Amino acid sequence: MRASVIVKRLVAVIAAALALVGCTESAVTGPGRQPPYLAIVVFVDAPPEVTTRGPFRFRVRELSGQLGVDTTVRASPADTIILSVAAATYRVDISDVPAACAVRQSTAQAIVVPPNTNTSLVRFFITCEPGLTVITGTDGAASDPDYVVTVTNAKGAVFSSVLRSNDTVRFAGIEAGNYDVTLRLVADNCVVTSNGGEIVPVSVATRGSVLVRYRIVCAQVASRPRIVRLVGSYHEGSIAYVLRATDPEGDITRTFVDVTDCNRRSVLPGGGQLRQGLASAPNVARRDTALIIGAYDLDVTDAQLANRCLAVWVDDAFGNVSPIIEVPLLRRNAARAPAPMTFSARLNGVRSISVNASASDPNGDYLGAFLVYLVRDGVLTNPDGQPDRVLQQPAGIIGPVNAELGVGIGFGAWNDYLGVIVYLVDAEGNFTRVIDMDLFQ
């Protein structure tokens, strides 16, 4: 913003502040709504995509402490804050400024409000510049000590920098446009688990800024698990999958499952899902090859799942992460999916819920099931308008289902339970979802 424009705006703001008698009540806050006034204005030299961010946070404190004034106000860059205050010396701090921007001189200003005056003015000048910030965060065993990050624009021009395992680098002053940010020279025992993997496309706006975070987890090669087979399908906003993973210690603990654009970028509103507590499952514990069945209900349509991929990694009790596997997510083949032969879920008084299910399969490759217990919203997690979910067997159940879940021992009381969902899954990832919402029969 040119200096002449800033001066004109400043004159206009001061004139408006000095004419407060004619202001509406909403323009003035504070006890009594009478002079003296303290006005706070912000001038941002940046494009609309930055100036419309916010709001900023302003903290106003009376420095002597005798008046006990310590208040916080939030306002957008377009707002003018006018406070009715007592005559005194005040400190005004600004925070929540976008990372691409800087406050000239200081984020804190002192201002004397004399008695018998109308308005004292505090001004903050903020400038923003184009920029791209890349952050690496690495943990795990045998961590990679450093990487190379390259930033390539549409014309093929490349900027590069070396980053340490936990480091930050800023590419300042680059032109607005589209870029591919690529993390290179990642050691073979390390996995980039952040969304997008090693290659992240970004768009830098004029005087805007973009932040790219890489999350890298490294493993002891001799101990890390590996996924040897992964298949999955989707139907009516749900997915089911089957994976086999080898592990030298037989202690696979977690799975991370995401639906991607087949280039490691998630297409799910909340990103991928982490599922824990697999290590004690009979189909996982102390097995050199674990067989895991899983399923999720997703807040997306089948059209959004079409032509997408399933991306999965597993890790063990020591945090050793497998290489990430990404395979096509197929539409459920209804003609080959398992069909329920028996299915019932019922309360055993107030002490437990029994679930029994068996399936037939057109081509004889029924594998097992995944169970979800539905609990009233807000019983286990913060209310979100959807039933809470309890997983008793997070690695799935191989074969017919004959499960019993004790209630009233930390997962809600008997009358908190609403129903049970069972996903019947075959060896190719085809599934049938069945639900019982009457636990009294």
- Residue 53 lies inside a defined structural domain of this protein: yes
Q: What is the pLDDT of residues 276-286, one digit of tens each?
A: 999 999 999 99
Of the chain, the percentage scoring pLDDT greater than 90 comes to 70
Residue 69, phi then psi, degrees to nearest 5? -90, 120
Q: What is the pLDDT of residues 127-137, one digit of tens each?
A: 776 678 899 99
**Does residue 8 surpass a pLDDT of 80?**
no
User: Residue 342 has what pLDDT?
Assistant: 95
Of the chain, the percentage scoring pLDDT greater than 70 comes to 89
Q: What CATH number is given to the structural domain containing 150?
A: 2.60.40.1140
Tell me the average pLDDT across 123-128: 83
Within this chain, do residues 391 and 426 fall inside the same structural domain, yes or no? yes
Within this chain, do residues 206 and 237 fall inside the same structural domain, yes or no? no
Within this chain, do residues 116 and 59 fall inside the same structural domain, yes or no? yes
Q: What is the pLDDT of residues 64-110, one digit of tens each?
A: 888 989 999 888 777 788 999 999 999 999 988 876 677 887 899 99
Q: What is the pLDDT of residues 370-414, one digit of tens each?
A: 999 999 999 988 898 999 999 999 999 999 999 999 998 778 899
Count the neighbouring beta carbons within 10 Å of the beta carbon of residue 36. Answer: 18
User: Residue 401 has what pLDDT?
Assistant: 96
- CA dist., res. 220 & res. 322, Å (int): 10
Q: How confident is the model at residue 26 (pLDDT cuts 50, 70, 90)?
A: very low
Q: What is the pLDDT of residues 220-278, one digit of tens each?
A: 999 999 999 999 999 999 999 999 999 999 999 999 999 999 999 999 999 999 999 99
Within this chain, do residues 394 and 287 fall inside the same structural domain, yes or no? no
- Residue 441 lies inside a defined structural domain of this protein: no
Q: How confident is the model at residue 52 (pLDDT cuts 50, 70, 90)?
A: low
Within this chain, do residues 9 and 121 fall inside the same structural domain, yes or no? yes
Vertex 226: Cα angle to 140 and 276 (nearest 5): 65
User: Residue 209 has what pLDDT?
Assistant: 72
User: Residue 45 has what pLDDT?
Assistant: 73
Q: Where are the beta strands (DSSP E) in 99-246?
A: 101-103, 108-113, 119-128, 131-140, 146-153, 158-164, 167-172, 177-184, 190-192, 199-204, 209-218, 226-235, 238-246
Q: What residue numbers bound the domain in which 68 lies?
A: 3-128
Task: Let me know if 388 is exposed, middle or buried by CB neighbors in 10 A (0-12, 13-18, 19+).
Answer: buried
Tell me the average pLDDT across 111-140: 88
Count the neighbouring beta carbons within 10 Å of the beta carbon of residue 40. Answer: 22
- Residue ending a domain, among 188, 218, 248, is 218
Q: What does the mean pLDDT of the chain come to?
A: 87
- CA dist., res. 397 & res. 356, Å (int): 12
Within this chain, do residues 18 and 119 fall inside the same structural domain, yes or no? yes
* Structure-model confidence comparison of residues 47 and 287, the more confident one: 287
- Residue 88 lies inside a defined structural domain of this protein: yes
User: Residue 130 has what pLDDT?
Assistant: 62
User: Residue 97 has what pLDDT?
Assistant: 80
**Does residue 24 surpass a pLDDT of 50?**
no
Based on the structure, what is the number of domains in the chain?
4
Within this chain, do residues 237 and 213 fall inside the same structural domain, yes or no? no
Within this chain, do residues 119 and 138 fall inside the same structural domain, yes or no? no
Q: How confident is the model at residue 54 (pLDDT cuts 50, 70, 90)?
A: low
Within this chain, do residues 198 and 84 fall inside the same structural domain, yes or no? no
Within this chain, do residues 160 and 259 fall inside the same structural domain, yes or no? no
3-state secondary structure of 49: helix
- Residue 83 lies inside a defined structural domain of this protein: yes
Range with top average pLDDT, 25-39, 117-131, 145-159, 427-441: 427-441
User: Residue 10 has what pLDDT?
Assistant: 41
Within this chain, do residues 420 and 397 fall inside the same structural domain, yes or no? yes
* Structure-model confidence comparison of residues 187 and 208, the more confident one: 187
Task: Let me know if 81 is exposed, middle or buried by CB neighbors in 10 A (0-12, 13-18, 19+).
Answer: buried
* Structure-model confidence comparison of residues 2 and 164, the more confident one: 164
Q: What CATH number is given to the structural domain containing 277?
A: 2.60.40.10
Q: How far is CA 341 from CA 248, 273, 368, 401, 434, in A?
A: 37, 31, 13, 11, 11
